[in-house]
Amino acid sequence: MKRRKLGKSDIEVSVLTLGCMSLGTDKEKAKNIIDFALDAGINHLDTADLYDFGLNEEFVGDAIRNKRNEVILTTKVGNHFNKESKDWFWDPSKAYIVTEVKESLRRLKTDYIDFYMLHGGTLEDPIDETIEAFEELKKEGIIRAYGISSIRPNVIKEYINKSSIDGVMTQYSLLDRRPEEEILDLLHNNKISVLARGPLAKGMLSNQAQKQIVVKGANGYLEYSFEELKAVHEELTTISPNINELSLKYVLKHPAVASAVFGASSTKQVEESTSSNVNDPLSDKLYEKLKSITKNIRYLQHR
C-alpha cells in the first residue's frame, strides 16, 4: 500500500488509515482487527483519549506493543474526561494538554506519539496557549508532529496562520464534499495534509450501502434526502460494483489528502477496504463523473 508524506514532517502514512473508534470493548477482537489492518499494509492507526474513556488507547497500545516502530500512531486530546463518571468537558488549555499527554503515553505503552491532534476546537479557545503546548511537546520529542481534528473552516484557518501544524483531520466523502470549497486547496498550498475521516459516510458509501442507507439514512444525511441517497447509490453501482473502492479513491484524488481514515468493527470491514485497489488514482473523467452525481455542498453551520 502506498504511503504519503504528512505535511512538512518526515512522517509517511499509508493511504488508508484504520480509525480505531469503532473497535469496541472486546480486547481480543480489537487486537485481531488491528493485526489484520497492519498485515494488509496499513501503517497508520488513529485513536483518541476520549474513545471509551481511555480503553481504546489501551487496546491500541497492547496490540502494537511489539511492533511500535512499524506503526504511525495518532491520538487526540482536548476532551477532559472522567473515566468513572463517564462525562467530559472541552478543555484545550495548555495545562490539560501537557498533563493528559502523559496519560495517553501510559495507556498506549509508548514514550512518544507520532501525530498528536487537538480533538475539536472553536474560535473562543485560547488558541495561542494551545499551540504553545503542542510546540513544547514537539520540541521535547514527546510528539513528532501535531494538528487539529475539525470541520470548522474558520478554526482551521486560525491554525494555518498561527501554528506549524502538519495535518488536519476533517470529514470528507462523496456525500460530504464541503472541504472542497474552501479547505483542501488552502491546506495543500500551505503544505498541510488532510486526513479524510468518514470517507464511507457511515457505510452509506460502502459495499453494504444498500442496507446502511436504510439504517443510517432513513431521515436523510446532510443535504441529501433518503430518496436522494438511494439514487446516488444506484448511479454508483452502474459505475462499479465496488463502492468502497470508488469512495476511497475519490477522497484520495485531491493532492492535499494523505490518507482516508475508515472505521471498522470487524476484520471483514477492514478487508472490504484494504482489498480495494487504492494505489491507482481515479481518472480525471471518472472523478468528474462522481462529482456530477453528488452535491457540492458548503459549510453553513460549524464555521
Q: Which of 51, 116, 221, 224 is flagged as catalytic?
A: 51
Residue 49 β-bridge partners: none
- Provide the pLDDT for residue 86: 79
- Provide the pLDDT for residue 264: 93
DSSP-derived pairing of the beta strands 193-197 and 167-171: parallel
In a domain, 242, yes or no: no
Q: In this structure, what C-alpha cell is assigned to residue 24?
A: 469496541
- Provide the pLDDT for residue 190: 98
Q: What are phi and psi of 156, to 5 degrees?
A: -55, -40
In a domain, 8, yes or no: yes
Map residue 23 onto helix, strand or coil: helix
In a domain, 183, yes or no: yes
In a domain, 105, yes or no: yes
- Provide the pLDDT for residue 301: 73
In a domain, 72, yes or no: yes
| CA–CA distance, 70 with 211 (Å, rounded to integer) | 36
- Provide the pLDDT for residue 242: 94
In a domain, 165, yes or no: yes
In a domain, 258, yes or no: yes
Map residue 90 onto helix, strand or coil: strand
Q: What are the mean pLDDT values of the chain's consecutive 10-residue runs (303 residues total)?
A: 97 98 94 97 95 89 94 93 79 95 97 97 96 98 98 95 97 97 96 98 94 95 96 96 96 98 95 91 96 91 74
Active site residue 51: yes
- Residue 116: CATH number of its domain: 3.20.20.100
| Rounded (10°) angle between helices 243-252 and 226-239 | 90
Q: From the DSSP assignment, how many helices (H) and strands (E) are in the chain?
A: 12, 12
In a domain, 261, yes or no: yes
Can you spell out the DSSP letters for 241-260? S-HHHHHHHHHHTSTTEEEE
- Provide the pLDDT for residue 79: 83
Domain of residue 93: give its range.
3-202+248-279
Helices (H), 64-112: 94-108
- Provide the pLDDT for residue 89: 77
Q: In this structure, what C-alpha cell is assigned to residue 59?
A: 487496546
Q: Quick check: 146 and 116 in contact, CB under 8 A?
A: yes
| CA–CA distance, 48 with 78 (Å, rounded to integer) | 10
Number of domains in the chain: 1
